[in-house]
Structure formats: structure tokens, C-alpha cells
Amino acid sequence: MGCVGSKQPADDGAQPQSGTGSPPVAQGQVKSASVGKAELTTTTDVAQVDDGDLDDDDEPQKQAALGKKGLGILRKNFCRTCAAQQQSAKNDASSQNDARSIKRVLVVIDVQDGYDSEFIASLPADVGGSLGFIQDEHAVKASYELGSRALITAYEPGSEPKISYNKGWNKGLPGEAMDTVAARAVTEIQSGEYELIVFTTDYLERSGAEELGVFPLDKTPWSDPTKPVALVGYDKYLTIAAGCPGVDISRRIREKLPDVTSANGKEGTANGTPALYLRKQVDDAFDEDREASERTGGAAWLDDVDVDDDGLPRADAQTLLQQLSARGYGPAEGTQLSFVGVVTNRCVASSLLHAATLGYRTRCLMGGCRAANAAAHEKGLAMIREKGGDGVEMVE
């Protein structure tokens, strides 16, 4: 997923295209895509990998080759390109509002069943994305070129190569970590201090849609467009695609707060407090990038946030900034956003820091955030401190 794991890139001779090696790009740019084509062309920097994580999907060469279609969650780590001094300046201006007029909003990032290792392990082994299913060997029906998606070989029955769908990160976060984050979210919600609760969840395209996951069939470098790969539906190796069992808010929260669920649409409540539910396919909940393609009729629609029930872009989608502002919680209204969630070094950091650059007061509730491991969590907190500066309040 976009939030759990990565590992140091393998050296395949290609030049990494990481965020710190390229100049920052403007937010809200348009990317183009065509149905059935090989990849989305994105204007956004490829995220730089983090030490100590698990997932080969964060190899820079692989990211550059696949884009969102092959990875499932687009790895646009906003915190890699934002400028700390700009955040501090904007937040300094916001902080001049009288404390009594602050509008407090809690943002719960991706605390959902599909990222909980205990939930994933509890699913029957014949359910796509379950621990038993992803660890099993699966026959590959055909191989395709990475770049063109042209068919290379259609395998005869009995001759198919077999692959595992285990990517490491798709086994989920430790139950202890999810329990800690969920418990803090429940405590904050029950405190009554917030006027609005925002829940974000990763929500990929339904099986059979345009986008498919990519699995390597040999050690050809990811920079080679003829690399043979298998194309696999998200529902086979993840539980966070449309129609899959891991898309809802974590059961650890729902058991404590029965009115919490993302199953009833964008509007709801959390312990009686108004709640907003945002579906996304990108690390940064405040993402603004748009897609102009055949499936959008050539119009520029939001591509990675506020998707429809099938995980597809829609004409009337709104950014999280637009949705908050429409409810009276824009930066100019003295809104303070407090963040908890997973994972600290990806979705939490990217979303929080983007919010800060937009002028929001921001708070990182450190005890309510977790990552794949302690080192990744601490690295995420360090990035938030470095980029956020005085503009971000760090709260235990």
C-alpha cells in the first residue's frame, strides 16, 4: 500500500528518480492516461525510499516504470518536496488567531482493516488478500511486457510459472501497532474536543477495472520496458480495493464507536460528532492531481481522491481542502487539524505537511501514529519536525 512499506532499492544500473533528486513540482497538475495504455504519466516526483521498511514496490526504478497502475497506491510523498520555511510562514500567520476561535478537526489517516495484520490473518485462505492467499503459489496465465503491456506468452495449462502475491507490506501492520493507533483515535474522538472527524481510507479500483498490479517474472531491470511481468487484480493481493473486506474503518475503532463506518458514504458520525469519510489512492490526503483521459471524456477530473464506489474518478469529486472549506473548516477559518494514523513516514507525514502548506494549523499526535517498525516511525516524526518546523505542533 501507499502507507506501510518500502525497502532500499536494488541496484539495477538505472538512475533512481527520487524526490530529492528532482526539483519540486506544483501541486494540482494534470496527468494524462488512456484506457488500456501501459501507464499513467504523472507530473509528480517519485517518492524517495525509507530505510528499514519492507516493500520492493518502493524501488525508484520500479515506481518510475509502474506509476499508480502497478503499485495500487501512488507513492507521492509530499513531505519530500515541500519547503519548511513556507509552512512555518503560513502557520505563523494562522497562529495569530485567538485560541478561543480555533476550530478543531481530528484527521484519522488510513486506520482500516486492510492494514491490520491480525485482520488479514483472520480471513479464510481462499479470500483474495488474506494471509493464506498471498503466501500461496499462484499460476500465471500469461506474461506481458512491462512498458507496452503487449502479450509475451500465453502459458499452456500445466506449464504456467507460479508466483506468490506476498509483497511484505500487504501482510499488514502488527496488531499491537494498530491497537495503539485505534485506541488513541477513540480517546480523541470521545474527548469531545473536536467539531469534525475526518477518516481517510485507501480504496483501489474494483477488480476488472483499468488498473492492475504488476509482479516481476524475472530479474530484468525495472528500467527495461520489455521486462516480463504478470498482471494481477488488486483484489488478489490486497483487501483495500472496492468490494474487498478491508476497506472499512478498523474494527478496533468500530467496536468502541458503533456509529463509525465508511460503508454509508461520505457523511456520518463518530460518537455523535459529524464525520467525513474520504477515499483515496495516494499517500497525500490533500492531493490535487487530475487525470484527463478517455474515461473522463478528456476532462480533468481528480484522479486519486474522492473516488466513486468502484474506485474510479468521477466528475464531481472534490479535494479534501474543498470539502473542509465547504463545511467551514478552511485555513482562513482558524482551523486546527490534529493527525493520528498510519503510517507515520508516508501518509501521515505527507497529509499533515501538505495541510500545513495550505495554511492550516497542524498537530501531530505522535502517540497515535505508527509505521512498519519503530525506526520508520521515528524517521517519519523527524521528517515532520524538519519540514514542519514551528508550524507543526508535536504532541505526545
Backbone angles phi, psi at 131, to 5 degrees: -60, -45
Domain carrying residue 294: 74-116+171-211+240-394
DSSP assignment letter at 344: I
Residue 146 lies in a domain: no
Residue 332 lies in a domain: yes
- Provide the domain count of the chain: 1
d(CA 71, CA 214): 7
d(CA 112, CA 131): 16
* Beta pairing class for 361-370 and 335-342: parallel
d(CA 67, CA 50): 18
CB atoms within 10 A of CB 382: 13
d(CA 364, CA 80): 17
Angle, nearest 10°, between helix axes 349-357 and 374-388?
Answer: 10
d(CA 226, CA 228): 6
Please tell me the predicted confidence (pLDDT) of residue 78. 59
Please tell me the predicted confidence (pLDDT) of residue 95. 46
Residue 365 lies in a domain: yes
Residue 139 lies in a domain: no
User: CA separation (Å) from 165 to 129, 162, 249, 317, 352?
Assistant: 8, 10, 24, 32, 31
Please tell me the predicted confidence (pLDDT) of residue 207. 78
The secondary structure element, H or E, covering residue 198 is: strand 196-202
Edge-to-edge, what's the strand order for the sheet holding 273-280? Answer: 267-270, 273-280, 196-202, 103-109, 335-342, 361-370, 392-395
Q: Give me 311's grid cell.
A: 474506485
pLDDT tens for the chain, residues 1 to 396: 446 433 322 323 232 233 323 333 333 434 433 222 222 222 222 222 233 333 456 666 666 666 555 555 555 555 555 655 344 444 444 444 456 589 999 999 999 999 999 999 999 999 999 999 999 999 999 999 999 999 999 999 999 999 999 999 999 999 999 999 999 999 999 999 999 999 999 999 987 767 899 999 999 999 999 999 999 999 999 999 999 999 999 999 999 999 999 999 999 999 999 999 999 999 999 999 999 999 899 999 998 999 999 999 999 999 999 999 999 999 999 999 999 999 999 999 999 999 999 999 999 999 999 999 999 999 999 999 999 998 899 999
Residue 348 lies in a domain: yes
Residue 122 lies in a domain: no
pTM: 0.82
Residue 17 lies in a domain: no
293 touches 270 (CB < 8 A) = no
Alpha carbon 129 to its chain centroid, in Å, reads: 17
Residue 297 lies in a domain: yes
d(CA 26, CA 166): 35
Alpha carbon 105 to its chain centroid, in Å, reads: 20
Give the CATH number of the domain where residue 310 resides. Answer: 3.40.50.850
Please tell me the predicted confidence (pLDDT) of residue 211. 83
d(CA 337, CA 102): 10
Alpha carbons within 13 A on the beta-carbon side of 158: 0
Please tell me the predicted confidence (pLDDT) of residue 263. 96
